[in-house]
Amino acid sequence: MERNPLRRQLQLMRKSLFDQGYLDEQFVQLEELQDDTNPNFVEEVVTLYYRDSARLVLNIEQALERKPYNFHKLDAYMHQFKGSSSSIGAKKVKAESTLFREYCKSGNGEGCMRCFQQLKKEYATLRKKLEAYFQVARQAGPMETACRPK
Amino acid sequence: MEAAAAADVLPSGSSQELHVLAVDDSYVDRKVIEKLLKISSCKVTAVESGARALQFLGLDGEKGSLGFDGLKVNLIMTDYSMPGMTGYELLKKIKRSSAFREIPVVIMSSENILTRIDSCLEEGAEEFLVKPVKLSDVRRLMKDCVMRGETEGNNAGRRVDKRKFEDDNHTSSLSSSSSLTPSPPSTTAPFGGDVATSELVSSSPPHSSKRAKLHDGD
């Protein structure tokens, strides 16, 4: 059990993110890539993800304002968005992306719209949680995680 | 712990790191693959498109064949779905060029589609990796790439990994005596027993699955 209170808090936050299904195995993969030469790698990737995917979210939003829906285009955007989300281990966001694509394939505009609203919620929630997590991580200092050796 | 870094397993006498050209239109994925490769002791050049990749290789007719900084490329890892030129199209261009056809090309895709995998392997892709790519995938790739150089003419290196099979193509025609992990039958050729034993690698990690390359190309 972690003695340092900040690290303990960090561990609990991390566990909660996984237990509640916000993150999946891919996030662990990213953590394994973090080392002394790049101690904030995970945070950097996540930051990059939110910056980069904002554009896609906007594109989808705009595409959903144009009727009739261009499902092919919507699906293409979501394919990209899903890919990035998958790369950072964003489990719930990825699930919503998959659902959205299903709706696109079946031409269900109403489904797409509803799903997208939910997706945005999950996307925003994850962001807040990860921001809080990284803030504590920075305060706690480098963790002695059971990572791959150098 | 077995790190299997590229630098460790290179044949004796060689002190060079493998130089990998990574192609992906996703900024996030480029950052991750770059890190995966650097941690595996590779030099990495990450570009955002097939066109850029060809430019780097000098296949766009501009420069010589060694790329801008004169570094030989030992492996190309490319995303499949990219706007403009897909990874498949890039693969074909590379395999049809006399200068670069020997460079192993690995395709990465978030979509596990059998026909897609088939086409890529038929065009000469070394492997087809399902995204997101893991560190263990890269490590294995490093071992294979080097082994491939050492054991010419050995088909053992050619396979598909991380195949999570969808419904219908699963297990149907594999003989029960086979001890290898199941793989889908080819859609165009019968899945013969001898092919299964001669071409599939037996020492595979349990989660990955192998597929014999039934279409003879090289």
Chain segment A52-70, per-residue pLDDT in tens: 999 999 999 999 999 999 9
pLDDT given for residue A119 in this prediction? 98
For A149, the closest of B1, B35, B134 (CB atoms) is B1
Quick: pLDDT tens for B91-105.
Answer: 999 999 998 999 999
State the smallest CA–CA distance between residue B32 and chain A in angstroms: 8
Complex-level ipTM = 0.90
Burial of B139 (C-beta count, 10 Å sphere; 0-12/13-18/19+): buried
Query: Exposure string (b/e) for B74-108, b if CB count within 10 Å is 16 or more?
Result: bbbbbbbbbeebbbbebbbbbbebeebeebbbbbb
Asked if the model's pLDDT at residue A48 lies above 60, the reply is: yes
Number of neighbours of residue A121 by Cβ within 10 angstroms: 13
d(CA A7, CA A143): 8
One DSSP character per residue, B51-94 reads HHHHHHHTTTSSS-TT-TT-PPP-EEEEES--SSS-HHHHHHHH
Number of neighbours of residue B187 by Cβ within 10 angstroms: 10
Partners of A83 on chain B (C-beta within 8 Å) are: 26, 29, 110, 131
| Percent of chain A scoring above 90 in pLDDT | 87
Partners of B81 on chain A (C-beta within 8 Å) are: 79
pLDDT given for residue B150 in this prediction? 52
State the smallest CA–CA distance between residue A33 and chain B in angstroms: 7
Task: Count helices and strands (H / E) in chain B.
Answer: 7, 5
Partners of B35 on chain A (C-beta within 8 Å) are: 33, 38, 41
- Count Cα neighbours of B51 within 13 Å in the Cβ-side half-sphere: 5
pTM of the model: 0.75
- What is the residue whose two structure tokens read 């995998």? B117
> Touching check for B190 and chain A: CB below 8 Å?
no
Quick: pLDDT tens for A5-25.
Answer: 999 999 999 999 999 999 999
Mean of the pLDDT values across residues A103-130? 98
Quick: pLDDT tens for A73-101.
Answer: 999 999 999 999 999 999 999 999 999 99
- Count Cα neighbours of B103 within 13 Å in the Cβ-side half-sphere: 28
Query: Exposure string (b/e) for B23-55, b if CB count within 10 Å is 16 or more?
Result: bbbbbbbbbbbbbbbbbbbbbbbbbbbbbbbbb
d(CA A32, CA A26): 10
One DSSP character per residue, B177-201 reads T--SPP-PPPSSS---HHHHHHHS-
Under DSSP, is residue B2 helix (H, G, I), strand (E, B) or coil? Answer: coil
Quick: pLDDT tens for B129-167.
Answer: 999 999 999 999 988 876 665 544 444 444 454 444 444
Query: Residue B1 and residue A148: Cβ atoms within 8 Å?
Result: yes
- What is the residue whose two structure tokens read 């570094």? B71
What are the φ and ψ backbone dihedral angles of B106, each rounded to 5 degrees?
A: -110, 135
User: Which of B31, B133, B142 should one mutate to test binding to chain A, selecting the residue with the greatest count of A CBs within 10 A?
Assistant: B31
Partners of A44 on chain B (C-beta within 8 Å) are: 31
DSSP letter for B45, please.
E
Left if phi > 0, otherwise alpha if psi is -120 to 50, otherwise beta: which for A93? alpha
Query: Residue A83 and residue B1: Cβ atoms within 8 Å?
Result: no
For Cα atoms B121, B96, B192, give the angle at the middle one, nearest 5 degrees: 30
